[in-house]
Amino acid sequence: MINAANILQVRRQLGRALVFATFVLSVLMLAGCVASAKVYNNDKTVVYNGATYNLGNVKQIKSKISGKLSDTKTVDLMGADKKQIEAYLKEYKTIYVRMAFDFDDQEMLYRASSVSKYSEYSKMKSSFDSAGKQINSLMADKKKLQLKLK
């Protein structure tokens, strides 16, 4: 016959086994959660013309376009439209256009050349705008760490 002491002992052993199984299952589930957690660093870089620019701690990215009209006169072309560019070209024949990105205190010169037609300026501006979009995309994407501009 089974006595009450044996029943209590069996219940204790089953309880301990159940607690142990629950503990092991919890540890395995926790290990699975930790292993699947993604950790991304913020060391983003832009590579252009053989130079590497670290954007990891950059707070503000600005773009700037300037035009040198003569030896002494330089103008901001950032918001210039087609009529303004053509007026400068009509008066000065050529404009030395300089396009750059400012990463806080670091400047990345993107393009700098003389233009004598609006179409040349337009191509430069289009390429510059595309590079700006790529840089914005890099900064917005948590997984992407490097951008190689052409």
Q: What's the confidence (pLDDT) of residue 33?
A: 58
The answer on pLDDT for 79 being more than 80 is: yes
CB of 128 closer than 8 Å to CB of 115: no
Nearest to 58, CA basis, from 150, 128, 147: 147
Quickly state the pLDDT bin for 128 (edges 50, 70, 90): very high
Q: What's the confidence (pLDDT) of residue 56?
A: 82
Q: What's the confidence (pLDDT) of residue 94?
A: 92
Quickly state the pLDDT bin for 23 (edges 50, 70, 90): confident
Nearest to 48, CA basis, from 124, 120, 134: 134
* Cα 108 from Cα 102, distance rounded (Å): 6
Give the helix/strand (H/E) hosting 131: helix 118-140
Region 123-135: mean pLDDT is: 94
Q: What's the confidence (pLDDT) of residue 11?
A: 73
Q: What's the confidence (pLDDT) of residue 82?
A: 93
Q: What's the confidence (pLDDT) of residue 32?
A: 62
Q: Where are the domains of the chain?
A: 1-37, 45-148
Q: In sequence order, which residues have a C-beta less than 8 Å from that of residue 118 and are 6 or more positions away?
A: 82, 85, 86, 89
State the pTM of this model: 0.70
Residue with the bigger pLDDT between 90 and 17: it is: 90
Give, in degrees to the nearest 5, the angle at Cα 126 between 64 and 75: 35
The answer on pLDDT for 140 being more than 80 is: yes
| Most confident region among 8-12, 13-17, 29-33, 64-68 by mean pLDDT | 64-68
Residue with the bigger pLDDT between 54 and 30: it is: 54
- What rounded mean pLDDT belongs to the chain? 84
Strand partners, 115: 95
Region 124-150: mean pLDDT is: 90
SS3 call for 118: helix
SS3 call for 87: helix
